[in-house]
Structure 1
Amino acid sequence: MMNKLTIKKKLLLYGFIIQTLVLVIFSISLHKSLELATLDKLENTLRIVLLDIADDILEHNNFDDLTFNEEDEYKFEPLYIRFSKVDKELKIIKEIDFPKEISNKFEKINLYQNDIIYFEQENSFIISKLKFNINNELYILEIATDNKNLNDTLENLIYILLFIIPIILIFTTVGGYFLIYKSFHPVEQIIKNLKEIKVKDLTKRLQRLENGDEIDSLSSEINNLLQRLEISFDKIYQFSSDASHELKTPLTIIRGEIEIALRKDRSNDEYRETLKNCLDEVIIIQQTVNDLLYLAKIEEQNSLNYEEIYLDEVILESIKELKPFAKLKEVEIQSNIKDASTIKGNSKLVKIAINNILKNAISFSQKESKVLINSFIKDESIYIVIKDFGIGISEDDLKKIFEKFYRTDKSRNKNSGGTGLGLSISQKIIHNHKGTISYESEENIGTKVTIQFTKNSQS
């Protein structure tokens, strides 16, 4: 049953139960405290009256003319008085309306010590007793009153509590409901806003009060989550869009090659040529998918995995890996690394970025030309400059060079196995390492690429 209630109703019910328990415990404690306080007050009054009468008795030699008017004197009623002599049995000397319901056991009186006041409760009476010695004879003075004052006080308290407690519960419940409603109103607004956010549109964000409370912190974290989800969905959408865009052409070519081959019987050489063309396109598809996945992976790189790397060593490794490719293209790689330099980063990723740029420089260089790599430190920055003497890049192409799948020379890039993603990957890697990359080029003269890192920079 409780599980089906909303949190607001649960809080309201729990609050009501807790308040009721607290008020009941408070009422019982108050009742007991008032009972003890009233009883103590009655006993103090009886003690004063008892001592006053005892003094009067001691001043009289003749007990016959004793008059007990303490009820009028102390304005305290009812007041019952009994004065007795303790001998072999109790002999009442004088009494005023002393109730017969109060027992008068001789054996019990013998247990009392002299000159000590005793208090007892019997039936509905409170009795104070004092045993004392007069002329070597024992006497006992007893003063009693009923519990009416005590009972009236406690009864009035019960009536007051029975009237006050429901009113308190009503007001606290209404106040509690108001507080719960006000406290949950921002949460309900969050739920309402979240319902309006759809997968197709993750740009909406929760409104924040900017007051720094828990609800505001929750809204901030939800907005951060939505931001991450939006980025992730955008990446998925971008990946799908890029993949479908780039894979459409090779798949169309493969289909065309197969359909042509199946129209009539072909010779073995023709079938071999068809398969070769299909294989080339499959390789392109595989490389495109790998590059797209790698590009998405780069964006998720965690800088906490970065460590201190030596850029000069990374450059030398990159040159070593691409020397066979340069030899195949009849291009010479020359390096001039002036300073040993370090940055915080991932050596594998940085090498991939340099490899992509260096491979482009080799691919588009003239035969029997050179590709120059210089590395130096200037003004607390590390520079890597890669310069080739190739076909160059036009001014219009330079503006689009980092776009995905963009090729400055589609036929030559296709023949070299490029997908148009190499520079996008390099740019992402360099930016993730807090670096910059820029291109300068003139057609038929050559291209210069400048990579700049801040010394000892961290991503």
Structure 2
Amino acid sequence: MINNLSIKKKLLIYSFLIQVIILVIFSFSIYKALEISTLDKFQATLKVILLDIVDDLKEKEKITDNVLNEAKEYNFKPLYIRILDNNTHLKILQTSNFPSNFPNDNEYLNSLKDEIITFQKEDNYLISRIKMNSNNKEKIIVEIATTKDMLWKTLENLLYILCFLVPIVLIFAVIGGKFLIYKSFSPIEKILEELKNITAIDLTARLKTSNNQDEINQLINEINNLLGRLESSFERISQFSSDASHELKTPLTIIRGEIEVTLRKERTIDEYKTALNNSLNELTFIEQTINDLLFLAKNEKDLIVDNQEIFYFDELIDESINEIKSFAKLHEIEISFILEDSIEFKGFPNLLKIALKNVLKNAIQFSHKNSKIIIKSYKKNESLNISIQDFGIGIPKNEQEKIFEKFYRTDKSRNKNSGGTGLGMSIVKKIIDIHKGSIQIKTKENIGTTIILSFH
């Protein structure tokens, strides 16, 4: 049943139970401490009275000359005094109020040692004894006793006090505990109310933070960070959907139109081949667009599937050139690699190869036929650089910053013959950002463009 309660109520119940246990232990400790201290006090008083009686006996020639009025002298009641013969254990002298049912333990009396005071709890009595020599050289036992009534009365009074105080303490403890618990949970309830207003439709809202450095504020900061990551993920998903629907609509319309036109009447085999070839080109474009969009939609953590490796730029460049050589040959472009410095670098070679191939592909697409592309690997100051220089159409100055935007194509290349999706440079920038690098563009229209990838 307790599992169905709120955390506040659970804490209140647990707090109450713990306080009950603590108060019970505390009350029992006080009770025992008072019992022990009261017994010690009684024993000390009995010892003083017993020593006073011993002094009186030593002053009198006869034992029977003693009055035994210590009860009045010390104002200690009830007090019972008795003097016994050591051998017979018969009384020699006793107070008039000495109880007739007083216990006699002959074995204990025989075990007494000379001049040593002993204490004994017997039935309802506290007894103190001493064995000594009287003036006439006879051994006697002096015995004084009191009842435990005073002890029980004192402890009973304590019990009444505890029975009165403990419930009051518990009531105040529960009220105080409830106040503290509900006060402590107040910020969390506010957080819950604010979270209810945050939906997938609008993830821009954030929880209000304070200047406190407590755990609640740390929780709020972590929730805000989580909301930030969720917002970023939702934006990527939304952007992916928007980009995909925008870019895929045209090629799908072309494919549909191509098929509808072809099916209107009987066609020759060559016409069917042309229609299928056009559709295949559009499907290839769609596939490339989807792959690029999926790459851009991924988080940095999703892209980094391998650990960083130490590799050389010249090896990476050689592999990239070999993989794109056929594409360059198709466009009648020659690729030349100039190794100025052998550079060792720690990073993600698979990602950097994707970036380098995208830059090379752009350079090939926008170069004039029978021209050259020059790649260099070199060090400059503290930077490690890869430059890709083409001799093509160049990029207008007002469009240089836009080339990193998704689906952006320069006016001169806005045609499907280039085979580009407009996502290549966005992918390059994302990869370079992962490596904490930078991209520099040097270009002149109709002369060429140089892209410099710099790392530190």
TM-score by length of 2: 0.92
Aligned partners of 1:406, 1:150: CA distance in 2, in Å? 99
Counterpart contact for 1:374–1:385, Cα < 8 Å? yes
In structure 2, the partner of 1:32 is 32
Cα offset, 1:312, TM superposition: 2.4
Change (3 A) 1:87 1:323: closer
Structure 2 unmatched runs, 5+:
none
2:195 paired with 1:194: yes
Change (3 A) 1:91 1:390: closer
2:82 paired with 1:82: yes
Matches within 5 A, 1:128-277: 128-134=128-134, 135-277=136-278
The C-alpha deviation readout for 1:52-82, integer Å capped at 9, x for no partner, is: 1122122212334321221222222222222
Change (3 A) 1:437 1:47: same
Change (3 A) 1:270 1:346: same
The C-alpha deviation readout for 1:395-434, integer Å capped at 9, x for no partner, is: 3433421111122257665113211111111121122222
Query: What SS is found at the alignment partner of 1:239?
Result: helix
**Quick check: 321-330 or 200-209, which moved more?**
321-330
Specify the code of the residue in structure 1 equivalent to 2:201: K
Query: What SS is found at the alignment partner of 1:248?
Result: helix
Counterpart contact for 1:129–1:140, Cα < 8 Å? yes
Query: What SS is found at the alignment partner of 1:96?
Result: coil
Cα offset, 1:136, TM superposition: 4.4
Counterpart contact for 1:344–1:433, Cα < 8 Å? no
Query: What SS is found at the alignment partner of 1:119?
Result: strand
Change (3 A) 1:148 1:91: closer
Specify the code of the residue in structure 1 equivalent to 2:198: I
Query: What SS is found at the alignment partner of 2:389?
Result: strand
Change (3 A) 1:268 1:151: same
Structure 1 unmatched runs, 5+:
455-459
The C-alpha deviation readout for 1:70-121, integer Å capped at 9, x for no partner, is: 1222222222222233454614434231011212455653343343333233
In structure 2, the partner of 1:457 is none
**Quick check: 109-118 or 254-263, which moved more?**
109-118
> How many residues are paired up?
454
- What is the root-mean-square deviation of aligned Cα atoms in Å? 2.3
Specify the code of the residue in structure 1 equivalent to 2:417: N
In structure 1, the partner of 2:122 is 122
Counterpart contact for 1:85–1:93, Cα < 8 Å? no
In structure 2, the partner of 1:408 is 410
Q: Which one of 448, 451, 456 corresponds to residue 449 of structure 1?
A: 451
Aligned partners of 1:429, 1:202: CA distance in 2, in Å? 27
Aligned partners of 1:22, 1:51: CA distance in 2, in Å? 43
2:6 paired with 1:2: no
**Quick check: 175-184 or 130-139, which moved more?**
130-139
The C-alpha deviation readout for 1:243-285, integer Å capped at 9, x for no partner, is: 1111111111111122223333333333222222211111111
Matches within 5 A, 1:255-404: 255-297=256-298, 299-300=300-301, 301-302=303-304, 305-404=307-406
Aligned partners of 1:105, 1:442: CA distance in 2, in Å? 124
Specify the code of the residue in structure 1 equivalent to 2:109: I
2:8 paired with 1:12: no
Query: What SS is found at the alignment partner of 1:382?
Result: strand
Aligned partners of 1:129, 1:278: CA distance in 2, in Å? 121
Cα offset, 1:361, TM superposition: 1.5
Aligned partners of 1:41, 1:92: CA distance in 2, in Å? 29
Matches within 5 A, 1:418-457: 418-454=420-456
In structure 1, the partner of 2:71 is 71
Counterpart contact for 1:102–1:122, Cα < 8 Å? no
Change (3 A) 1:423 1:153: same
Moved beyond 6 Å, runs of 4+: none
Aligned partners of 1:104, 1:439: CA distance in 2, in Å? 116
The C-alpha deviation readout for 1:113-164, integer Å capped at 9, x for no partner, is: 3433332333432222223333343322221212232122212211221122
Aligned partners of 2:374, 2:6: CA distance in 1, in Å? 72
Specify the code of the residue in structure 2 equivalent to 1:56: D
Change (3 A) 1:298 1:349: farther
Aligned partners of 2:283, 2:412: CA distance in 1, in Å? 18
Aligned partners of 1:277, 1:323: CA distance in 2, in Å? 25
Aligned partners of 2:244, 2:312: CA distance in 1, in Å? 35
Specify the code of the residue in structure 2 equivalent to 1:279: L
In structure 2, the partner of 1:109 is 109
Counterpart contact for 1:333–1:370, Cα < 8 Å? yes
Counterpart contact for 2:366–2:413, Cα < 8 Å? no
